[in-house]
Amino acid sequence: MANSATILGCEGSRLGAGEAEFFREADPWGFILFSRNVDSPDQLRRLTGDLRAAVGREAPILVDQEGGRVQRLGAPHWREWLPPMDQVARTTPEAMERGIYLRYRLIAAELRAVGIDANCAPTADIAGSDTHPFLKNRCFGTDAETVAKAARASAEGLLRGGVLPVVKHLPGHGRAVVDSHLQLPRVGAAIDELDATDFVPFRALSDLPMAMTAHIVFDVLDPERPATASADAVTFIRDGIGFGGLLMTDDLSMEALTGTLADRAAAGIAAGCDIALYCKGIRAEAEAVVVASGRLSSAAAARADKALACRRSPDAIDTALLEAELEALLMGQVHG
């Protein structure tokens, strides 16, 4: 039987017997971790091992480790990173891609060391003058070319480190002027404008194994529903952008969406998303999401298998050497 069409969060830093039994029965395709689940490297290795043991397989374990404001693993055990846009600003255009590659290759090493093998990055949204602050400096830049190059470099760094990238947020979040964690953003731009800007990086990254939708209404695609819950928007992601990989919803707990969590999950799957992402780790809510999401469809299962086939053993690196090179790139721009 196919796995549940879900990625689920867990409650805390340890997996209790009751929670493990729930995961065994629910059989989510994967798991996602947050700061509430993170204490120390040893603890995190135990937790990731216990999660996989609960479902009896090498299930993917995801985290949001962009660096900057969004990183679930932080000091004192893990590196603290500049926001992505700040790092781009501190390197020369010639060195930017190398610097971003090094950043995410080092992040991948940290994640793999504790059993995490998927990262909800890169963010391929384009920042604009009105982009909401919750997102703005998480972007790589303000033009499509810079964002596409940096996002590709970050994905390559993750993949070479044995970590699957999850590109986000399709088909583009940069024009949002409200925080989709709290409100539903709406984009009224014409298709020609979007084709020339917002959609460009995602087309350039359409070969990546996994991606995440945006909880945003695009009037030109579907004026009634956010992309996550819109069959028209998901069809555009597939056919207009050309993304053929595993497509997951953004977190169903976000208040841009309406209805119960079961309603939200069912709407995302009905729209054509392969996986429903529920992050909070509240048992009753997770149970409702599992029931509403059902099992992976045959097409979704094929895309899931193809994504997992991209997992690889990390290339060997000299961590100190890569750290020194990245620091030199950053300092070189700071000092002109």
Tokens of 281: 């780790």
Crossing angle between the packed helical segments 93-112 and 319-334, to the nearest 10 degrees: 150
* Model confidence pLDDT, tens digit, residues 25-77: 999 999 999 999 999 999 999 999 999 999 999 999 999 999 999 999 999 99
What does the pLDDT read at residue 180? 87
Identity (one letter) of the amino acid at 220?
V
**pLDDT tens profile 292-314:** 999 999 999 999 999 999 999 99
User: What mean pLDDT comes out for the span 318-336?
Assistant: 83
User: End-to-end alpha-carbon separation of the chain, Å?
Assistant: 59
CATH topology of domain 4-334: TIM Barrel (3.20.20)
d(CA 334, CA 322) in angstroms, rounded, equals 19
CA distance 259 to 205: 32
pLDDT for 247-293, tens place per residue?
Answer: 999 999 999 999 999 999 999 999 999 999 999 999 999 999 999 99
Residue 196 to residue 291: CA distance in whole angstroms? 40
As a whole number of angstroms, the distance between CA 34 and CA 180 comes to 18
Active site residues: 181, 250
Q: What percent of the chain has pLDDT over 70?
A: 99
The two structure tokens encoding residue 94 = 């010639």
Cβ–Cβ under 8 Å, residues 150 and 99: no
Q: Give the DSSP per-residue string, 161-194.
A: TT-EEEEEEET--TT--S-TTTS--EE---HHHH
Quick one: average pLDDT of 222-231? 97
Domain ranges of the chain: 4-334
| Mean pLDDT score, 153-177 | 96
d(CA 278, CA 265): 9
Counts of helices then strands in the chain (DSSP H, E): 12, 12
Backbone angles phi, psi at 71, to 5 degrees: -150, 125
pTM: 0.95
| Overall residue count recorded for the chain in this entry | 336
Residue 336, pLDDT score: 36
Residues 6+ apart with CB under 8 A from 133: none
Question: What pLDDT does 87 receive?
Answer: 97
Place of tokens 């039994």: 21
- Report pLDDT for 334: 41
